[in-house]
Amino acid sequence: MSAHPAIHHPHSEGEYEDLLSLWSDLESALSVLLARPLQVQDFPGKVRQFDTWLQDLVAHDIDAALYLMFQHASTSTVGYSASHALVCGTLCHIMALELRLPQRERDSLVRAALTMNIGMTALQDELAEQRERPTAAQQEAIKSHPEESMLLLERLFISDALWLDVVGQHHASITERVPLAGQDPEDRLTRILGTIDRYAAMISPRKSRAGRSATDSVRAIVGQEVDQRDEVSYTLVRSIGLCPPGTFVKLENGDTAIVLRRSEKANHPLVASLLDRSGSHHVQPTLYQTASGKPRIQSALARSAVSLELNHRTMVRLGLYAAQHSAGLRGLVTGPGAL
Ligand SMILES: [Fe+2]
């Protein structure tokens, strides 16, 4: 188990350079935890520690966290299970803030997200690499994994009933017709986790298919038009956006750009244009505030549609620099010392 690296709040732009390695470290540590949970000393304490770590990283700067998370999820070298757990945990944390969930529910939700598939970690990694349909034995294991995960968590001394219940029913379909506030905590959290789980699974590339774009993933979940019918999807789109930081977009001038930060206007992020319409690299990335006019975003692009090596440190710093020098984005920069 790797040690918990020191987390600093950034007091200068330079410290953002460390964020990327902190994400990788968290992902690696989580991958060990999920792969060999019975060999971990004080499993509940480790999960709490990783949760704190995750919150610190997001508190630094939500946009940088989303950027690194989405970039990382699509290029990650650790197994799919750990990468998926981290994406779900982070998105559930952000959703809990948006939905103003009570602290207790927030904790159960995020920890359930990090551990929901712990009963089939190896199989989940295997399936992500597999091109063929699951075998009958694999299908059987997939079917029983929520229950298996719950039983394993009990063996690992998890005693939070809400966390356990949500893991145990995380693939159950919960009605979306009832307002979230009117549901039992168990159903409310299962509903949120279910939407996030489907969204994160669709966005990630796996051997059997390339990942979809974030926009397609949201639309596949909520239908062609995102409206207020379902509070969870609506909140996901409003807070994270159809084109979240770290995803690629096609601009209406034909350029290929990467989303750096959200702006105050939902779904009108700050983007850095990287390629022109013929696919040639720009000498330097051009920044566009899509909220203030042209060029607009034409469509989202799946990661697999773009073959580009990016310097994430430069991109995160570029986004931060632009945010610091733009009134429209300023209000969204969070974390002490970020301004
Ligand atoms: Fe699952």
pLDDT (tens digit, 9 = 90+) per residue, 8-20?
444 455 555 577 7
Q: How confident is the model at residue 333 (pLDDT cuts 50, 70, 90)?
A: very low
Min mean pLDDT across 18-32, 124-138, 211-225, 324-338 is at: 324-338
Reply yes or no on whether the pLDDT at 260 is more than 80.
yes
Q: How confident is the model at residue 338 (pLDDT cuts 50, 70, 90)?
A: very low
Angle at 88 between CA 184 and CA 241, to 5 degrees: 95
CA distance 337 to 127: 43
Is 179 or 219 the better-scoring residue by pLDDT? 179
- Average pLDDT (66-76) is 78
Q: How confident is the model at residue 3 (pLDDT cuts 50, 70, 90)?
A: very low
Min mean pLDDT across 46-60, 112-126, 166-180, 227-241 is at: 227-241
Q: Does the residue 75 lie in any domain?
A: yes
The token pair at 105 is 């529910």
What is the distance of C-alpha 172 from the center of its chain? Answer: 21
| 31 alpha carbon – ligand 1 mean position (Å) | 16
| 167 alpha carbon – ligand 1 mean position (Å) | 8
| 144 alpha carbon – ligand 1 mean position (Å) | 9
Query: Which three-class secondary structure state does DSSP give residue 34?
Result: helix
Q: Does the residue 302 lie in any domain?
A: no
| 283 alpha carbon – ligand 1 mean position (Å) | 44
The answer to whether 57 and 65 are in contact (CB under 8 A) is yes
Min mean pLDDT across 176-190, 218-232, 307-321 is at: 218-232
Reply yes or no on whether the pLDDT at 55 is more than 60.
yes
Please report the pLDDT score of residue 74 as a whole number.
Answer: 67
| 145 alpha carbon – ligand 1 mean position (Å) | 7
Q: Does the residue 271 lie in any domain?
A: no
CA distance 249 to 70: 13
Is 305 or 221 the better-scoring residue by pLDDT? 305
Q: Does the residue 292 lie in any domain?
A: no
Q: Does the residue 47 lie in any domain?
A: yes
| 284 alpha carbon – ligand 1 mean position (Å) | 42
| 56 alpha carbon – ligand 1 mean position (Å) | 26
| 116 alpha carbon – ligand 1 mean position (Å) | 6
Quickly list H helices, the chain: 17-35, 43-60, 62-75, 80-98, 103-115, 121-129, 136-155, 161-168, 185-203, 214-222, 231-239, 312-324, 327-330
Please report the pLDDT score of residue 14 as a whole number.
Answer: 52
Domain count, the chain: 1
| 143 alpha carbon – ligand 1 mean position (Å) | 9
The token pair at 97 is 């803030």
| 189 alpha carbon – ligand 1 mean position (Å) | 14
Q: How confident is the model at residue 213 (pLDDT cuts 50, 70, 90)?
A: low
Min mean pLDDT across 52-61, 184-193, 229-238 is at: 229-238
| 152 alpha carbon – ligand 1 mean position (Å) | 14
Q: Does the residue 306 lie in any domain?
A: no
Please report the pLDDT score of residue 93 as a whole number.
Answer: 97
| 268 alpha carbon – ligand 1 mean position (Å) | 32
Is 265 or 55 the better-scoring residue by pLDDT? 55
Min mean pLDDT across 173-187, 199-213, 226-240 is at: 199-213
Question: Which string of b and e fits 81-101 if b means at least 16 CB within 10 Å?
Answer: bbbbbbbbbbbbbbbbeebeb
Please report the pLDDT score of residue 267 as a whole number.
Answer: 78
Q: Does the residue 108 lie in any domain?
A: yes
Is 244 or 33 the better-scoring residue by pLDDT? 33
Q: Does the residue 156 lie in any domain?
A: yes
Q: How confident is the model at residue 331 (pLDDT cuts 50, 70, 90)?
A: very low
Q: How confident is the model at residue 209 (pLDDT cuts 50, 70, 90)?
A: low
- Average pLDDT (222-247) is 76
Min mean pLDDT across 47-56, 158-167, 219-228, 310-319 is at: 219-228
Q: How confident is the model at residue 306 (pLDDT cuts 50, 70, 90)?
A: confident
What is the CATH number for 17?
A: 1.10.3210.10
Structural domain including 59 reads 13-240
Which residues 6+ apart lie within 8 Å of 279 measured at CB? Answer: 256
Q: How confident is the model at residue 77 (pLDDT cuts 50, 70, 90)?
A: low
The answer to whether 168 and 192 are in contact (CB under 8 A) is no
Dump pLDDT digits (tens) for 276-295.
998 888 888 888 988 888 88
| 119 alpha carbon – ligand 1 mean position (Å) | 9
| 89 alpha carbon – ligand 1 mean position (Å) | 13
User: Across all residues in the chain, what is the average pLDDT?
Assistant: 83
